[in-house]
Structure 1
Amino acid sequence: MMVAGTVTVDTALRLESVSKVYGSGANAVTALDGVTVGLRRGAFTAVMGPSGSGKSTFLHCAAGLDRPTSGRVLLGGTDLAGMSENALTELRRQRIGFVFQAYNLIPSLTVEQNITLPLRFAGVKPDQGWLREIVERVGIGNRLGHRPAELSGGQQQRVAIARALVTRPEVLLADEPTGALDTRTGRQVLELLRGLVDTVGQTVLMVTHDPIAASFAHSVVFLADGRLAGELHQPTPNEIVRRLTGLGEW
């Protein structure tokens, strides 16, 4: 993870002086205030901060779901500013993977159909070799014919991760991916995400409120009042809690 500095070929995603203001006049709320962050390709970065610190807005701007009021967002060498909504939709479909706290699986579809859904939307046939690899990596190779209701919460989240990976995205964005899971299952999902980073070089950006979850990342970026408030490399849960305490979170 890099804060400020110049763009390099190792930067998968970069926010440059990004500000986001909602409303106007006396009702204006600044959710992000001049944030510059570069995410190193093939690294696992967590974003943390108190409630209202701008974490969700950061993620939405990074994903092209929300347009910055000022500044710019770069996915690889692509500047998202000025892109039409249709072009942004296509970019998200092809180059960004999403994992949420809610698994967002379609109950009537099988596991395999849920995983390959983004490809069907794009009119692309699945790469069977890559599909086999990702379902084995996430540990659901023997569940492809099941429906979501037949799976545990942890298994459903693994399906959601496989679905996010099926398009070979440049960046995987995870929003509280273990928030609905028990501690043991959540740890398994985090180990899976870190394993994808370490073995296949997947770039992962995760928003979380959980210091233990954040400790699986290579680095943690802290936000407070919409601004950068520090960074930890190779963080431990205790170090993260101490930093959050200083931000008024704990």
Structure 2
Amino acid sequence: MRTETSGVTSSRGTDRDRTPALNLVGVTKVYGKDGTEVRALNGVSVAIPRGTFTAVMGPSGSGKSTFMHCAAGLDRPTSGSTEVGGTELTRLGETALTKLRRKRIGFVFQSFNLVPSLTVRQNVELPLRLAGERIEEAWLTEVLGRVGLDGRAGHRPGELSGGQQQRVAIARALVTRPDVIFGDEPTGALDTVTAREILALLRECVDEGGQTVVMVTHDPGAASYADRVLFLADGSLAGHLDRPTAEAVAERMTRLGAWS
């Protein structure tokens, strides 16, 4: 049975599962001071349920990157609050915030950010080693198999294709069993066919693994893999689109002035 939570479908029903994976309440971010202020986010409130795939889109300068940075604890809001899995990030000190990001937040970037001298396995293990966590062999094997790298554990990044390197980055994001995986243009450096494979893998992580994915993208085709698209304009939420198609997303973006 599928239940509705704030307009986005979720298949879980325990108390913990009803806690949003990500919750922003009145988040405002202002850069600069003394007459040079730039309001990058303006009172953004949104709750993202567990086990869903959300894309974030908007014109250049709309606040997409700031949204992700504040949501993931990479930057502190000027006002408002951000919660990941029920933990309010804005109340944490820097050390506690760093520990939380290592364990409960995964990141997949356009640049793969792999360590060239480490093997696939060592790159995937890295967040666990940095957090001082025990490495579970069965789980590591499962994660590598899930992203299609079970035969590549001993290879180094330079021996892999771009798509395979991004699979390593996704495995690294999955290995800590995070509350949320944030993707910042994760297919931006890939060719069209490989990009589709990576997006299908992220979709599979949600549908089969129960993962929560929040992806910033400029590509309507990439956004069509999501359950919901959030649109930002001038630092504010400008609506959303459920069960998006690439055509519907492109039309909405045109109305926001992204490609006028």
User: Which TM-score band applies after superposition, normalised by the shorter structure?
Assistant: over 0.9
Q: Where in structure 2 are the equivalents of 1:70-109 lying within 5 Å?
A: 70-109=79-118
List structure 1 runs of 4+ shifted beyond 2 angstroms. none
Q: How many residues align?
A: 247
Q: Does 1:140 align with 2:149?
A: yes
Deviations 1:67-113 (A, max 9, x none): 00010001122111121100000000010000000000001000000
Query: Following TM superposition, by how much is the alpha carbon of 1:214 offset from its aligned partner in structure 2, in angstroms?
Result: 0.4
Q: Distance in 1 between matches of 2:55 and 2:255?
A: 18
- Give ranges in structure 1 of 5+ residues lacking alignment: none
Question: Which among 185, 197, 212 is matched to residue 188 of structure 1?
Answer: 197
1:131 maps to what in 2? Answer: 140
1:116 is aligned to 125
**In structure 2, which of residues 14, 28, 38 is the aligned counterpart of residue 19 of structure 1?**
28
Which amino acid is 2:111 matched to? A
Contact 1:2–1:37 under 8 Å retained in 2: no
TM-score, scaled relative to structure 1? 0.96
The corresponding residue for 2:169 is 160
Aligned equivalents of 1:10, 1:187: Cα separation in 2: 31
8 Å Cα contact 2:25-2:82 kept in structure 1: yes
1:57-68 equivalences under 5 Å are 57-68=66-77
What corresponds to 2:48 in structure 1? 39
Residue of structure 1 in register with 2:12 after alignment? none
Q: Output aligned runs, 1:176-215, within 5 Å.
A: 176-215=185-224
Answer yes or no: is the 8 Å Cα contact 1:47–1:220 preserved in 2: yes
1-structure distance, mates of 2:88, 2:30: 20
In structure 2, distance between residues paired with 1:122 and 1:76: 18
Q: Is the 8 A contact 2:18 2:49 kept in 1?
A: no
Aligned identity (percent) is 63
- One of 224, 230, 233 as aligned partner of 2:239: 230
Could you list the per-position Cα deviations for residues 5-50 of structure 1 after superposition, in whole angstroms to 9, with x for gaps in the alignment?
A: xxx8241110000000000121000000000011111000000000
Secondary structure of the residue aligned to 1:114 is helix
SS of the residue corresponding to residue 91 of structure 2 reads coil
Which among 175, 187, 191 is matched to residue 184 of structure 2?
Answer: 175
